[in-house]
Structure 1
Amino acid sequence: MDELEFRRRIMSEPKARDPELLKAMQDNDANAKFMDDIFSMDARIEQAMKVDVPDDLADKILFNQSSSNVVKVNFGKRALSLAASIAFAFGLLVGQVNWGSVAVSTAHASLSETAVQHVHDEMGFIDPLDEKVSEAQINAKLLPFAYQIGQQFPYHVYYLNHCGFGDANAMHMVFQGEKGKVTLFVTKIPTEQAKLFQKDGMSGLVEPMGDASFILVGEKGEDFTKIGENLKNILNPAA
């Protein structure tokens, strides 16, 4: 499947996960990145559409006409029209935009919120995968973030790739923890201090790492402090 056909399929069926699509994403980093962008953009559009409307707004925007000619705005149709316009405009951009440069602001979303949303969005795609990732592959993906692992990675790694992460990029890894699978993001977005969090049924840790950060997300009950210490011991600045 070529890249154009892959993008057409994902645009028409964003939730599709047939074997041909999965293979196209595994074989081509650009395809996987495009899928990330589609999920992220879809989530942002959905959030933007969630606007509270005052109960008396309809009365306030009645046309200033005689009572026999009063027309109320049909909000349902307008909402559908707006959604259709957004979808149409977004469709026109596919193939014209360099998706590697698409940025979604994280001004109103913390690192933990971005990470948890990302895990939820891709869980169905990533969960069945086991790529049996090697240390050499991990170091290759870490290179853009100026870090390397100095010894054997202490966990079995199921999945490894780069992804869009808010207005930056990240290394995206899934490995086996003590309670279940744990997702790791390494990004150049800095943070000031370590922070444990719980959100949307998941738990995790945000950890500063020089001018970068790593974020862990997984099941409640996982010892993220211990995992974080293990990772800090093997993650070294690239020479």
Structure 2
Amino acid sequence: MDELEFRRRILSEPKLRDSDINAAITANEQNAQFAEEILDLDKQIVKAMTVDVPEDLADRILFNQSSTTQGNVIRPNFARKTMAMAASVAFVVGVLVGQVNWGNLVVSPAQASLATTAIKHVVDEKPFVESLDEQVPSSQINAKMVPFDHQLSDTFPYHVYYLNHCGFGKSNALHMVFQGEKGKVTLFLTGIAADQVVNFDQDGMSGAVQPMGNNSLIVVGTEGENITKIVESLSKIIKPTI
């Protein structure tokens, strides 16, 4: 063992005395002196860190804290009580929001997610579908609706520019672009259920989520498009097959 390794090991573990360390101490007087000095230093450090605690220290600390804060008791306590009351009110309101059936006043997270996902699809895929005109017939629409257990009971009443399947959140969807009164309208029929009708306006677009059994019909158009009229029209001809 060289001198550098010896010093490194002694510094890291002053009390270490294995065969290699003992051999190095025996073979070299300077090593023996260095090991003894480091051991003494370690003992001094341990002694310095060992401090006797007065028996009445805890009582003295509590007394000092009480004396220091005695003149300011009212304001801190009032602030704490006010904050506690506000937290309690917030908790109760949170419980009520979770338990009460608010109907159409509150959009559920699932439905908000459907709307957000639909709008993102429309924005992201607009450059791709904007120039397409596949002139999709109703027979092809029915073929794409098969995985969602729905079919058209009549001819689709709008000119269809684009039709395909797409990923939609954690599910899949039928993705259609057709002509509305104000401009192009996008339709998604997805395998994610919704529990109520929800209308939404976001990013210059208007839309609606319409429950259809275990599926959801989502329609998104430009702002000013009569989405309600379109959804009512389509709900009459898109029917379950089972």
The residue number in structure 2 matching 1:132 is 135
The residue number in structure 2 matching 1:199 is 202
The residue number in structure 2 matching 1:237 is 240
Does 2:219 correspond to 1:212?
Answer: no
1:186 is displaced (CA, Å) by 0.1
Question: Structure 1 residues 147, 219: closer, same or farther in 2, change over 3 A?
Answer: same
Gap regions ≥5 residues in structure 1: 1-105
Does 2:128 correspond to 1:145?
Answer: no
SS at match of 1:228: helix
1:177 to 176, 180, 188: 180
SS at match of 1:110: helix
SS at match of 1:185: strand
Letter of the structure 1 residue corresponding to residue 205 of structure 2: M
Does 2:226 correspond to 1:223?
Answer: yes
Structure 1 CA distance for aligned equivalents of residues 221 and 194 of structure 2: 20
Letter of the structure 2 residue corresponding to residue 212 of structure 1: N
RMSD over equivalenced CA pairs, Å:
1.5
* Larger Rg, first or second structure (1 or 2): 2
Structure 2 CA distance for aligned equivalents of residues 181 and 109 of structure 1: 22
Structure 2 CA distance for aligned equivalents of residues 165 and 178 of structure 1: 26
1:43-82 residue pairs with structure 2 within 5 A?
none
Deviations 1:110-142 (A, max 9, x none): 100000001000000000000000011000000
Q: Is the 8 A contact 2:177 2:184 kept in 1?
A: yes
Does 2:161 correspond to 1:158?
Answer: yes
Larger RCO (CA within 8 A; separation ≥ 6): 1
1:109 is displaced (CA, Å) by 5.9
Letter of the structure 2 residue corresponding to residue 136 of structure 1: S
Question: Structure 1 residues 230, 107: closer, same or farther in 2, change over 3 A?
Answer: closer
Gap regions ≥5 residues in structure 2: 1-108
TM-score when scaled to structure 2? 0.54
Structure 1 CA distance for aligned equivalents of residues 138 and 148 of structure 2: 16
Q: How many residues align?
A: 134
Deviations 1:4-59 (A, max 9, x none): xxxxxxxxxxxxxxxxxxxxxxxxxxxxxxxxxxxxxxxxxxxxxxxxxxxxxxxx
Letter of the structure 1 residue corresponding to residue 128 of structure 2: F
The residue number in structure 1 matching 2:68 is none
The answer to which structure has the higher helix fraction is 2
Letter of the structure 2 residue corresponding to residue 191 of structure 1: A
